[in-house]
Amino acid sequence: MGLDQGIDVEQSVGIVKTEYAHFETELKLESGRLLSPFTLAYETYGRLNNERSNVILVAHAWTGDAHAAGWHTPDDRKPGWWDNMIGPGCLLDTERYFVICSNVIGSCKGSTGPASINPRSGQPYNLTFPVVMVRDMVRAQARLLDRLGINQLLTVIGGSMGAMQALEWGIIYPDRVRSIIPIAGTGKTSPMAIALNALARTAVFNDPLWKKGNYRPEHPPADGFALARAVGHISFLSDASMQLKFERRFSARDGLFDFFGKFEVERYLEYNGRSFVDRFDTNSFLYLAKALDLYDVAWDFDSSDEALTRIECPSLWFAFTSDWLYPPNQTEEVVADLKRLNKPVTYHLIESDYGHDSFLVEPEKFTPKVAAFLDRL
């Protein structure tokens, strides 16, 4: 339903527009390669105060985008992906804060990525696009803030890959952040998470339409990509959330003893995968998965302690009991290190049955703690 279909928009930012910042200067990546030119898609909500001290950067997860809140047109079926968090009277109150969300480099949602045209060849980059890391995403965001004349952030908040970005902001730009709020994050991607991404990659690689990344956009490797998305989507859920949503119900359209008959959970994964193919680029999915796999807070430092020592600001961390992609113990390892280093850190373990996606499904379970944290700042 859109704005013209009876939606209560009192706490909505209303109609918003995606902006695009174009940069001609080279961005040196962690791989040593240079990216130039490049573009970042971004949206802003609320107003910048005179002191430019009320800025909050929202960092999105793996396949997210810059459209975090509001509606692009009155006919939109859904608002931005964190619309219940951003707006007048919401947690990120746009009558109080100036909120920015940018699409990361490597994505396909307006920022430069493998689906973008390489100006040197006139063709899509595809697999000639350089491998990017989370730290590269953050450095690109810093360029955007420079362009907007913003020197300091009140906080950086994000879940999953967004939590990694928040942590990197604290490490790479300690003088530019007053706090960070990593949600459902980790200090380094585990072998299990890498293994799941490896299965997703293999599903794409084995699709003959992938053509080593040189597929035609109108003919993507749909079968392999849908399966890859299903693998990823399973990791975002939990056994409890699947029980709540599907139980062991068999699809009403199939016969119980039809060999190709499916349970409702199978139908759901099939639908989710197929619909995702229509709205995301396959190579971008693979590049961002690689960035997740490569993530390690100790990258380019002698140790994680050396990296974490650079954090000067308070940090507020959340983990969820049913998250098995980035389980609580991984968050707690980073929190314990920060405490040992005498850094101002607060941690909350949130009870939730919705797995890794809990930060999107049940934000009301942690938002009061975020609000109190921001008030103290």
Q: Which one of the listed residues 111, 304, 337, 356 is annotated catalytic?
A: 356
Q: What is the pLDDT of residue 2?
A: 53
CB 138 within 8 A of CB 170: no
Burial class for 117, CB neighbours closer than 10 Å (0-12, 13-18, 19+): exposed
Q: How is residue 206 written in tokens? A: 């084995």
* Catalytic residue, candidates 93, 223, 281, 323: 323
Written as one string, the DSSP assignment of 292-351 is HHH-BTTTTSSSHHHHHHT--S-EEEEEETT--SS-HHHHHHHHHHHHHTT--EEEEEEP
- Tens of pLDDT, residues 270-320: 999 999 999 999 999 999 999 999 999 999 999 999 999 999 999 999 999
How far is 144 from 21, CA to CA, in rounded Å? 7
Active site residue 160: yes
Average pLDDT over residues 4-29: 84
Residue-wise pLDDT tens digits, 191-214: 999 999 999 999 999 999 999 999
Q: What percent of the chain has pLDDT over 90?
A: 93
Contacts of 77 (CB under 8 A, 6+ apart): 1, 2
- Contact (CB, 8 A) for 202 and 219: no
pLDDT of residue 274: 92
Can you give the pLDDT at residue 251? 85
Catalytic residue of the set 160, 179, 322, 352: 160
